């Protein structure tokens, strides 16, 4: 209500006399007692939302303004008497507000369901479309995040969801099927070859991932010594052996550490250290186990060199048996004694 005629200076709510000395009482036509009582009043925003009323409906009701500070920002809030708002709403909606709100909620849910159903039809259609291309190429459907994105969004993939190789048009779609089916074939053959050597595919292997995603071409971008899948499998076997049967990890760490302590011009480069560590690991392995046949063929030269050096220093005899010299034993006992 724009202007409330208050001839008797009484509180609009409780009809008690207003305190003329209180600015709040006079400005709002509501006594301090009532103003302090919660749940009598409702803000305009809530009145509109909860009782489905608009500015025109509310214009005829008693209201007053208070200042409020929210998040450091001062604003004016218009308050209504909630009882009056409720009565008005009952009058306008003939007491059926709750029913109307429930119905609206039901309609909202139905619309959501319909939208979801429509989306599902599209999803199925896109999935069938991809399967069809696979079929046409005589291949089986292969799951891939690229396809998941197409199935969900079609050619309109949101920027935030995009990944490498997204499908943006029909041509991309054909190419992606081709690329991903080859990818699946490569993965399958690599897994089979690894299995022959008792190995499994490691998801953290840079080489394997390069091969699966782009074939030998991509592997050679990393290291052009690799000529075929067998070279990759050899490498995997070598690393598996070094990590499982030798102290390779610690030896490498120690060698890097020692290298840093050297004068700059005496330092080895990374590849030299790794080569050296392989040799050290194999040397130790033979010293502990004898030159047994388990050592992979890619480490043959390290094995030969280690045996040669061990024979020279008489740590190994002509029958390739490890010799435990007395001197080593004495050294060992000395070490224990000093600890």
Q: How far is the CB of 11 from Zn ion (least distance, A)?
A: 3
Q: How far is the CB of 15 from Zn ion (least distance, A)?
A: 7
Among all residues, whose Cβ is closest to Zn ion? 11
Residue 11 or residue 53: which is nearer to Zn ion going by CB? 11
Binding mask 219-258 for Zn ion (x = CB under 5 A): ----------------------------------------
Q: How far is the CB of 35 from Zn ion (least distance, A)?
A: 8
Residue 34 or residue 239: which is nearer to Zn ion going by CB? 34
Residue 34 or residue 281: which is nearer to Zn ion going by CB? 34
Residue 31 or residue 212: which is nearer to Zn ion going by CB? 31
Residue 28 or residue 181: which is nearer to Zn ion going by CB? 28
Binding mask 281-310 for Zn ion (x = CB under 5 A): ------------------------------
Taken in order 206, 207, 209, 210, the sign of the CA dihedral is positive
Dihedral angle, C-alpha 145, 147, 153, 156, nearest 10 ° = 100
Residues 8-67 that bind Zn ion (CB under 5 A): 11, 13-14, 31, 34
Residue 66 or residue 268: which is nearer to Zn ion going by CB? 66
Q: How far is the CB of 37 from Zn ion (least distance, A)?
A: 8
Number of chain residues interacting with Zn ion (CB under 5 A): 5
Contact residues for Zn ion (CB under 5 A)? 11, 13-14, 31, 34
């Amino acid at each position: 209500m724009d202007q409330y005629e208050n001839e008797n200076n009484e509180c609009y709510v409780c009809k008690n006399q207003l305190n003329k000395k209180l600015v709040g009482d006079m400005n709002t036509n509501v006594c301090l007692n009532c103003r302090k009582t919660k749940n009598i009043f409702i803000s305009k925003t809530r009145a509109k939302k909860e009782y489905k009323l608009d500015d025109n409906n509310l214009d005829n009701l008693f209201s007053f303004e208070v200042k409020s500070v929210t998040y450091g920002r001062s604003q004016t809030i218009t308050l209504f008497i909630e009882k009056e708002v409720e009565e008005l709403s009952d009058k306008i909606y003939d007491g059926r507000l709750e029913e109307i709100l429930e119905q609206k909620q039901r309609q909202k849910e139905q619309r959501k369901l319909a939208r979801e159903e429509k989306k599902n039809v599209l999803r199925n259609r896109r999935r069938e479309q991809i399967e069809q291309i696979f079929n046409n190429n005589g291949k089986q459907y292969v799951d891939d995040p690229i396809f998941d994105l197409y199935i969900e969004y079609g050619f309109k993939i949101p920027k935030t969801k995009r990944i490498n190789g997204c499908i943006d048009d029909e041509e991309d779609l054909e190419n992606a099927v081709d690329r991903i089916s080859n990818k699946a074939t490569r993965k399958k053959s690599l897994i089979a070859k690894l299995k022959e050597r008792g190995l499994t595919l490691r998801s953290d292997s840079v080489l394997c991932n390069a091969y699966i995603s782009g074939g030998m071409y991509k592997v050679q971008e990393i290291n052009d010594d690799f000529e075929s899948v067998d070279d990759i499998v050899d490498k995997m076997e070598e690393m598996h052996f070094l990590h499982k049967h030798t102290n390779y990890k610690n030896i490498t760490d120690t060698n890097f550490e020692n290298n840093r302590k050297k004068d700059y011009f005496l330092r080895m480069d990374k590849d030299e250290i790794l080569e050296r560590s392989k040799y050290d690991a194999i040397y130790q392995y033979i010293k502990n186990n004898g030159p047994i046949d388990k050592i992979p063929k890619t480490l043959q030269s390290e094995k030969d060199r280690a045996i040669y050096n061990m024979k020279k220093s008489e740590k190994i005899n002509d029958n390739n048996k490890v010799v435990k010299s007395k001197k080593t034993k004495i050294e060992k006992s000395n070490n224990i004694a000093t600890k």
